[in-house]
Structure 1
Amino acid sequence: MTLLATAVVLLAAVVAVHLLFTFGLVARVRELQQNGGAHVHNTQVPRPGTVVGPFSVTGVDGVTISEADLAGPVQVGFFQVGCGPCRMLSDALVAAPPQARLVSMVQGDPDAPEATERLVAKLGVLGRVVLIGVDDPVLSAFEIVAFPTLLHTHSGVVTASGTRLDDFAQAAGAPAKVA
């Protein structure tokens, strides 16, 4: 009889723990639903509301681009030669071009000039392309720490960011509140 009572108490404890986890999960789902189903923000990309810092870079066409050129909605992509996710994302962008103006920042590879040229040419059909170095100041201006990174900006403020085409495509045209 004592063995049966111990088993029942142990089973009740396990059920209680599972019930607590279930309530926690239900609360989290409700919280996400109240926030419009938004997913957890990737901490490696600039958050919406981030103000783009001052920068000046020269595109492959020889034209200088600065923060002043971010007036209105502009989408900015950061890509790296030899990066698998960057290749997949650039392929997806070519297949479904963004509607807003696109500026692509490409971190080239001096040891692979042909690969660099291919990526620049592929992204060139979508808009302006800038070839940047490893420690280029434009990376600091946009707070870029990972490749690929996609940003939607409006008047120099990041309104959406992510690493996937879905993040990029869902960017709203309205400016975000500056944090």
Structure 2
Amino acid sequence: MPFVIATVALIGVLCVLDLLLTVGVIKRLREHTDLLSNGGRGRLSLGPGEQVGEFAVTTVDGERLAHDMIDTETVVAFFSPACGPCKEKLPRFVEYARTVPGGRGRVLAAVTADREDAAAAAPLLTALAPVARVLAGEEAEAVAEACRVQGFPVILKVNRSTDGRLLVMADQVDVDRPAVASV
């Protein structure tokens, strides 16, 4: 009889252990599903509804631009010359930016590069200049920090809320479709 009790107790302990492991696996599967739904990258920047931080920068053309000067929907893109996906997405983004209502004034492109990558950033800056107000170097870093960018490429739509805050309206901008004005 003691042998049967020990066997039943061991089976009970194994079942509880199996249940705990199954719950752990389900939790990990949910985390992986969330990561995959974000393009496998996790969160790379602020999400929809989050407030953009303050910044005051100067574009490569010498135009002053500050957080409070953005007063309508604006596309804000972040690229890096060291980023392979950025180079792939750049031509599609340039075509997309040509279709943005309001033109170049409603598109902001930030090319972040340290001193070693500055020469590699030149082709990106040249491609973006006709369709966007372009930021480079520390100026680009300031806006990237305000949008909490943690990876590249990132393309956001920002706009003023009814209470005057600058918010991210979309963090998944489809550059394969022409831009349309928000209603």
Q: Same fold (TM over 0.5)?
A: yes
- The whole-number CA distance in structure 1 between the counterparts of 2:180 and 2:37 is 15
Deviation sequence 1:76-102 (CA, Å, 0-9, x none): 001111211111111111233341411
1:91 aligns with 2:91: yes
- The whole-number CA distance in structure 1 between the counterparts of 2:37 and 2:179 is 15
For residues 108-123 of structure 1, the aligned pairs below 5 Å read 108-123=113-128
**Matched residue SS, 1:81:** coil
Structure 1: gaps of 5 or more residues: 1-38, 175-179
- Aligned position for 1:58: 58
1:160 aligns with 2:179: no
- The whole-number CA distance in structure 2 between the counterparts of 1:84 and 1:153 is 25
TM-score normalised by the chain length of structure 1: 0.65
Deviation sequence 1:110-134 (CA, Å, 0-9, x none): 2243321111110111110000349
**Matched residue SS, 1:54:** coil
Superposed CA RMSD in Å reads 2.7
Greater fraction of residues in helix: 2
The one-letter code sitting in structure 1 at the alignment partner of 2:170 is A
- Aligned position for 1:46: 46
- Aligned position for 1:28: none
Using a 3 Å threshold, how does the CA distance of structure 1 residues 93 and 40 change in structure 2: closer, same or farther? same
- The whole-number CA distance in structure 2 between the counterparts of 1:137 and 1:72 is 20
1:71 aligns with 2:71: yes
Contact 1:159 1:171 in 2 (8 A): no
Structure 2: gaps of 5 or more residues: 1-35, 161-165
Contact 2:58 2:139 in 1 (8 A): no
Aligned-residue identity in percent: 26
Deviation sequence 1:118-153 (CA, Å, 0-9, x none): 111101111100003499332221111111111001
- Aligned position for 1:24: none
